[in-house]
Amino acid sequence: MFEFDQYLGFIAFLTILTIGFWLMFFLIAIVPYWIGGSVMEMLKEKKEKKRLEKEAKKG
């Protein structure tokens, strides 16, 4: 039969395993989406800035 210390160790192991799973899920799924969106937004801003500069030169 399990003693209380073994039970606590098992619970600690499951907790660490669960935290690791959700951390990996976050790093693999959400972070690349976030970085990709930031890069797309930055490129849009640069493109818009160039367009405004061209219009200012023409006008």
pTM above 0.75, yes or no: no
Q: With respect to residue 50, please indicate whether it lies within any of the assigned structural domains.
A: no
Q: For residue 51, which phi and psi values (nearest 5 degrees)?
A: -65, -40
* CA–CA distance, 16 with 18 (Å, rounded to integer): 5
DSSP 4-15: HHHHHHHHHHHH
Q: Assess if residue 19 is contained within a domain.
A: yes
**Residue 43 falls within a domain, yes or no?**
no
Tens of pLDDT, residue by residue, the chain (59 residues): 668 888 998 999 999 999 999 999 999 999 999 999 999 999 999 999 999 999 888 86
Alpha-helix runs per DSSP H in the chain: 4-25, 31-58
Domain that holds residue 19: 7-31
Measured CA distances, 16 to 24, 26, 27, 28, 35 (Å): 12, 15, 16, 18, 27
pLDDT at position 6 is 84
As for how many domains the chain has, the answer is: 1
